[in-house]
Structure 1
Amino acid sequence: MNAFFDGYVHAKTNLKEFVDQFDNALRKKMENEISSDFQYFSVTIPCISRPPIEKRFQQLYTNAKFREVQEQVMGLVDMDPSLLRRDGVKKTYLVEDEVLVEEFTKHVNFYVDFNEEDCDVKCSCGLFEMRGILCRNILAIFKCNGIKTMQDRYILNRWRKDIKRRYTLISSTYDTGSQEEDSNKYSSLLNICYLMITHAAGSKVHIEDATAKLYSIIELYGDTQ
């Protein structure tokens, strides 16, 4: 948030100055987004491996995030996971790795839990939880288990290049043409949602019913994109 306002919104301003500064920050953010979108859709970074998992990230993720994914893919060369134990469909692997700490190389052990039934996987390094990309340890486990398709749970919307950023739909003073039309449509839907929330919030049964229906609508419209 501080990075978003940096250079545009300053302390010790009155309300009008704050609104003007906020508007400038939003406009600059939108201009950067448009520029980035052009780059994302006009430039394709080639894959460095044959497995289709990397290809799917290439198709869906922004170039900046895809480069981070490729860093993990390149690290697969030295990965040699060993199976520690198995409990039904659940496996636990040991992955020995070396990490660079300042000028020294440190030996590190990572543990990866993998469920064969639903391909649910978790690594002790926590890279996916911290940065939203799969680590090379997990990719190595996928490889040794012959996993060639990526589960949707590991594709995060915030890194996708085909998802329109929500702040571009916020009404502002510089909106013109199609931007203003999109903002009006967004505001109209938002007002309807607020009305629905007002009616549903007073009842636990209504909240549960509304939640289920909203997720159904999201799934329905998500499939049409």
Structure 2
Amino acid sequence: MRSTQRSESMHSFFDKYLTCRSSLVQFVHQYDNCLADKEQQELECDAADNRGLIPCVSNSPIEKQFQYEYTNNIFRNVQAEFIKKCDCNLSPRAVKDNQYFYEVTQQKIIKGMSFYSEYEVVFCPISHQVRCNCFRFESYGILCCHVLSVLSQCRVDKVKSSYILSRWSKNVHRKHTHIRSSHDSRRSDESMNIFRGLCVDFYNVAQDFVHDKEEADILRSAFASAKVALTEHRAKHSESVCTSECSDGLNALRSPPHVVPRGRPSFKRLEADVDRKIKNGSKKRRASSKRTKVSYNGHGLYNNLALVIFFMC
């Protein structure tokens, strides 16, 4: 794949595991290692997010809301917008169709010089919809300092859930973690993944039949009969744990067979007359330049020897 066809961040990630000379078998194995490392990084980030909260830089209830919703990395970017809010000045412009138009002037210091930028923010007090012409939320997925200034001016204590993207939330439930893949088949917590998947299934069934007592009794009896059947199945069929390890040798990956390409080999290509003349001309020029250089070096050496003999005499 060319670098222009995919994102450069993915290329930099795979460069740690693959090279341009990697074979097909190495590519498959290294791809599994990439996925395993990526999943490990996600687990470490989730553990860091659940370990503690980053303290707020202001007393805004909106920042408190973002503190419990966003991950630590994204919340640091949001805090930078709350800090920039101190450099913004508001001035109401007009009211039209239950929408308030504000002009936000932000002071910026670039290379020791002060600049002022003006932005327009539209706020609807009924639906709490807000929009800024800097389009930071549409580009980065977080609210800008101009919008935060308007929300603080209008005394809004909580933003809508549509302004908190699920991709930045640490409370999102990843359903793909229950899917078994090739790189996590030897993990020790596979039973925990199966347990969580079964709990989700049991919860969905119980949620549908919890309103009627007779239906709940039927569900309990079904669980009891299923437990008895599973116990008998375990007693009859005691499978070995090393079944997966034995199947790995049978399903080992092999390189594809070498296929001879169709057509005439490249080293026996018939040359055209123009190509042959150009090649012969370049050879003659190189040979003539070498002869001129050698002859020049020979005359110079002869002259130097003559001068040495003259002075010695």
Relative to the length of structure 2, the TM-score reads: 0.54
Q: Does the 8 Å contact 1:169/1:179 carry over to 2?
A: no
Secondary structure class of the residue paired with 1:112: strand
Give the corresponding residue for 2:131: 122
Cα distance change, pair 14–164 in 1 and its aligned pair in 2 (3 A): farther
Cα distance change, pair 164–6 in 1 and its aligned pair in 2 (3 A): farther
Q: CA deviation at 1:179?
A: 4.1
Consecutive unaligned residues in structure 2, runs of 5 or more? 1-9, 198-203, 208-313
Relative to the length of structure 1, the TM-score reads: 0.73
Give the corresponding residue for 2:182: 172
Give the corresponding residue for 1:207: none
Give RMSD over aligned pairs.
Answer: 2.8
**Matched residues in 1 for 2:190 and 2:109: separation?**
47
Q: Does the 8 Å contact 2:178/2:194 carry over to 1?
A: yes
Pairs within 5 Å for 1:57-76: 57-76=66-85
* Superposed CA offset, 1:85-129 (max 9, x none): 110211211101123445544321111111122111111111111
Identity of aligned residues (%): 31
Q: CA deviation at 1:184?
A: 11
Secondary structure class of the residue paired with 1:81: strand
| Aligned partner of 2:163 among 154, 175, 179 | 154
Q: Does residue 1:145 correspond to 2:154, yes or no? A: yes
**Matched residues in 1 for 2:147 and 2:39: separation?**
35
Secondary structure class of the residue paired with 2:45: helix
Give the corresponding residue for 2:211: none
Q: CA deviation at 1:182?
A: 3.7
**Matched residues in 1 for 2:118 and 2:88: separation?**
12
Q: Between the two structures, name the one with larger relative contact order (CA 8 Å, sep ≥ 6).
A: 1
Secondary structure class of the residue paired with 1:80: strand
Secondary structure class of the residue paired with 1:41: helix
Secondary structure class of the residue paired with 2:50: helix
Cα distance change, pair 159–103 in 1 and its aligned pair in 2 (3 A): same
Q: Which amino acid aligns with 2:136?
A: L
**Matched residues in 1 for 2:93 and 2:135: separation?**
19
**Matched residues in 1 for 2:182 and 2:109: separation?**
46
| Aligned partner of 1:98 among 107, 118, 130 | 107
| Aligned partner of 2:142 among 124, 127, 133 | 133
**Matched residues in 1 for 2:11 and 2:195: separation?**
28
